[in-house]
Structure 1
Amino acid sequence: MTAGGPESGVTAGAGVDVAGPGVHQRMVRMVQRVQAQARVPALAVALHRADRPLWAYQVGGTGTDAALGPATRFRIGSVTKTFTSVLVMQCRDAGLLDLDDPLGRHLELPAHGELTVRRLLSHTAGLQREPYGDVWDTLRAPQLDELVADLSRVERVLPAGRRYHYSNLGMALLGRLVGVLRGGTWAEVLAERVLTPLGLADTSVDPGPSAATGFLVDAYSDEAHPEPPTDFGAVGPAAQLWSTATDMARWAAFLADPAALDPTGAVLAPTTLDEMRWPVTTTDETAWSAGFGLGLILVPYPERVVHVGHDGAMPGFLAGVYGRRGGDGTAGAMGCAVLASSGTAAEALELPHRLLAAAAEHDPADIVPWRPGPGAPGPLRGLLGRWWGEGFEYVFSWHDGALRAWGADDPAGRPPAVFAPVPGSADVFRTVSGRETGELLRLTRDADGTVVGMHWATYRFTRRQETFDRYDFRV
């Protein structure tokens, strides 16, 4: 079938809040250009942010009798891995596993049971990319018993921890792990513990009645060849899901700013998402243009901006789902999804990054007015101001109810170190974020209670610049 014919349900400009001025018109044109130039039969996008209405737009045709709209489902491929990774981290937070546990501690496996959960999440286990056999020739994925039995025929292609090596098989094993620990199938656990709590009603292991057809667009003509439907069986935790652009924009926003969409931490604690977003490895040893955390792709941009999420590719479909963090103009809970019914339109994978940047630049988040607040507690007021450590100058201050410190020469936008009191120790603080996270800050006072010195991560801090051998808090 050729996409876009009379039978295809062609729509152009259908969506939510598409008629807005300025940035929406700009983004509509960006989407239209990619759809036309990359020759995508159906392209659906959505942008979620906490301070604006949901924006969504679709252009093209579904390849079926159904019209293209916000409820049209697309295959999201490896974006599925982000869901499986969240399920794994839920198990860790519930005390069901440790990230450094070998798989064999929880699963009966004929081989590779020594590989750890952390290595599999970050694609640094060295496990081969796919299950045993020529899956992409047969388009027949193994069922669970077969997947496990064939592990004895699977290679470890690299030593664990040597480098990044992407593995669908590794994520399939993590999905099996989640099911065993939770007492259900991966799909059941996913629906109960993630999809339902976050209101992702249009995300499912099945395409449903409103799904678009996936196509291979001919390189030398305008013909679009439909790709066969596939069920990924036991490899489902790596690539099985179908969804809409609006659901996926919400999911991207959750990955970037979980507290905004899950304020009680019912799905996952914000600190756990922080952990998942910390880069474990780069994806290329020379071009550090992307990193990988615990199940998440991290794409850095200037001005301390990072896009966090995942791409997806399955026969006839491409997906890009990313949330935006940091930088001037970035709104809270900012996420973008681009879903395409072409397996070769690589331009679609760049589009979510471009749309996020355009929204932050041309419709920036409102600037919250500053208002006076309470000062530092009395015992801490004397330590505010400038201090010297290792020959460098630092500024300690009290903002938003916490003690903070910057390097006097820190570049603009670098977050401060933030300290929290250590219970039971009036003059000891723990660094909870920023420089020296985890380390202690200890205050030294003279007889009248004045703070005359500090130790931070064991380094001495004084009110004036001192050499290491000329140091006396009494001076």
Structure 2
Amino acid sequence: MVRQVQAQARIPAVSAALHRADRPLWTCAVGGTGNDTALDPETRFRIGSVTKTFTAVLTMQCRDDGLLDLDDPLSRHLDLPAHGELTVRRLLSHTAGLQREPYGDVWDTLRAPDTDQLLADLAKAERVLPPGRRYHYSNLGMALLGHLVGTLRGGTWAEVLAERVLTPLGLTATTVEPGRRAATGFLVDAYSDEAHPEPATDFGAVGPAAQLWSTAGDMARWAAFLADPAALDAAGRVLSPATLEEMRWPVTVTDETLWGGGFGLGLILVPQGKRIMHVGHDGAMPGFLAAVYGRRGGDGTAGAMGAAVLGSAGTAGELFDLPHRLLAAAAEHDPAEVTPWRPGPPAPPEIRGLLGRWWGEGFEYVFSWHDGALRARGADDPPGKPPAVFAPLPDRPDVYRTVSGREVGELLRLTRDETGRVIRMHWATYRFTRTQETFDRYDFRTS
């Protein structure tokens, strides 16, 4: 598959990698670097906007450490000449309405502003849409978040990135500079086989949006972290699984009529059908394209499953689909082993009496005890639909909090008779009974 894309899309160099918890890292490199270094899995490519996922993680670290709130306006933390009312959450999800690039024709000059210039020119930058109106991609917005992270941590964005993400996760080949093992980026002529080298660029203060270089192996590992952080960072040193789950929740779609992709908090979300989601980002810089995605859900999906494809041509759009195809092929043709079911301990005595079938709002539900937790699912739910999961409230007997699935966050309250038997429940304030009843308690079974 990698060789076909390299040949058909005419990419001077392609490096691909697939990471999963149950297999060694798989890599494939095809072509040549365009310089005097050999192409191999250690060759670095520019990853462009995949950089934004790192800046997003750094921002969420600041939130988790109490340094900011996602709904804080930028002006609460930065002295800005304009647009200080825009919130961190809106910038992360590209719904702030801020113009795409810094002020000026940076793609003509290829001279990115330094931090002082970026901030000085901010008053000239437009807010092209009202905040929250719709998705509008903004490199400028992500650059401001990078500056915010550095300010809150007392260093530069690059210093904070190395200390708080790259080193803990062992991403030793991911750097702000290309290094000695970098491929040359090209524009391949549309009507001949000539490849024109693209100029080297340093994105200065816009670096948090697009500066990084990396290998396919590092990026496959990063994609696996975004999809399954507990497998690669069990101690949560970089970010907790709950925070990554928050980042993966869709905030906006990128097309109002074709819901084939969306944005969470700094992450692109690409549904694959059958409750499978690919999460990551694409990147494009002069002479380079990158696509980096982790896989969640679906039969055959292994833990910590991520794929990265990096290429040294700026025009080979076929590259963007390849990591999705690699992930799907791996899950289909080399599926993860099925974990055997084994008997577990019984449900606690206070739970046993409520297990089984209940009716609410005219629909039937099944409450059960699995993996040490109370669960509920609709009697007609398809097999792949996640159940609701409940956790007891220690200070409130017979009251549970829905921690995932349907009605997450809502309370489940049990009502018992004088013998201690559960005779009804209220979930999100809706009454649940053992028989089907109307809202005025007409019982079909006893009528």
Query: Is TM > 0.5 for Structure 1 vs Structure 2?
Result: yes
- Matched pairs, number: 444
Distance, in Å, in 1 between the alignment partners of 2:354 and 2:22 is 38
Match of 1:273 in 2: 244
**What percentage of aligned pairs have identical amino acids?**
82
Equivalent AA in structure 2 for residue 442 of structure 1: R
Is 1:316 matched with 2:295? no
Query: In the TM superposition, what are the counterparts of 1:29-428 in structure 2 within 5 Å?
Result: 30-428=1-399
Question: What is the DSSP-based 3-state SS (H/G/I as helix, E as strand, rest coil) of the residue aligned with 1:285?
Answer: coil
Equivalent-residue separation in structure 2 for 1:426 and 1:203 (angstroms): 51
C-alpha RMSD over aligned residues: 0.8
Structure 1 residues without counterparts, runs of 5 or longer: 1-29
3-state SS of paired residue (1:65): coil
**Paired position in structure 2 for 1:21:** none
Q: Kindly state the Cα deviation for residue 437 of structure 1 after the two structures are TM-superposed.
A: 0.3
Once residues 285 and 375 of structure 1 are traced to their aligned partners in structure 2, the CA distance between those partners, rounded to angstroms, is: 48
In the aligned structure 2, how far is the partner of 1:138 from the partner of 1:169?
17
- Pairwise CA distance, 1:426: 2.0
Please give the per-residue CA displacement for 1:355-392, whole angstroms capped at 9, x wherever unaligned: 00000011111000000001110111000000000000
What is the DSSP-based 3-state SS (H/G/I as helix, E as strand, rest coil) of the residue aligned with 1:403?
A: strand
Q: Which amino acid aligns with 2:215?
A: T
SS at 1:338 equivalent? strand
C-alpha displacement at 1:438, in angstroms? 0.2
Give the aligned residue type for 2:105: D
What amino acid is aligned across from residue 459 of structure 1 in structure 2? Answer: Y
Tell me the SS of whatever aligns to 2:102: coil
**What amino acid is aligned across from residue 303 of structure 1 in structure 2?**
K
Supply the distance in 1 between the matched residues of 2:39 and 2:163 (Cα, whole angstroms): 29
SS of aligned partner of 1:197 = helix
What SS class does the counterpart of residue 260 from structure 1 fall into? helix
Deviations 1:437-461 (A, max 9, x none): 0000000000111111000000000
Q: Of 431, 434, 442, which residue of structure 2 is paired with 1:463?
A: 434
> What is the match of residue 24 of structure 1?
none
Partner of 1:442: 413
The one-letter code matched in structure 2 to 1:349 is F
> In structure 1, what is the Cα distance between the partners aligned to 2:270 and 2:427?
32
Match of 1:19 in 2: none
Deviations 1:94-125 (A, max 9, x none): 00000000000000000000000000000000
Q: Tell me how far 1:471 sits from its aligned partner.
A: 5.8
Residues 217-263 of structure 1 show CA distances to partners (whole Å, capped at 9, x for unaligned) of 00000000000000000000000000000000000000000000000
Distance 1:166 1:58 in 2: 31
Which string of whole-angstrom CA distances, capped at 9 and with x for unpartnered residues, describes residues 312-355 of structure 1?
A: 00000000000000011111000000000000010111000000
SS of 2:121's equivalent in the other structure is helix
Q: Distance in 1 between matches of 2:63 and 2:343?
A: 41
**TM-score (norm: length of structure 2):** 0.99
Q: Find the aligned partners of 1:246 and 1:346 in 2 and give their Cα distance.
A: 21
Cα distance in 1 between the residues matched to 2:396 and 2:104: 60
Shift of 1:181: 0.2
Q: For the residues of structure 1 that align with 2:112 and 2:311, how far apart are their CA atoms?
A: 23
Deviation at 1:412, TM superposition (A): 2.3
Q: Secondary structure at the match of 1:321?
A: strand
What is the CA-CA distance between 1:301 and the residue it aligns to? Answer: 1.3
Residues 256-300 of structure 1, C-alpha deviations (whole Å, 9 max, x = no match): 000000000000000000000000000001111001000000000
> Structure 1 counterpart of 2:213, which letter?
W
Q: How many angstroms apart in 2 are the aligned matches of 1:439 and 1:378?
A: 23
> Residue 196 of structure 1 aligns to a residue in which SS?
helix
State the Cα deviation string for residues 186-212 of structure 1 (Å, max 9, x = none): 000000000000000000000000000
Whole-angstrom distance in 1 between the partners of 2:437 and 2:272 = 38
Deviation at 1:131, TM superposition (A): 0.1
Rounded Cα–Cα distance in structure 1 between residues aligned with 2:350 and 2:126: 61
Q: Secondary structure at the match of 1:426?
A: coil
Amino acid at match of 1:422: L
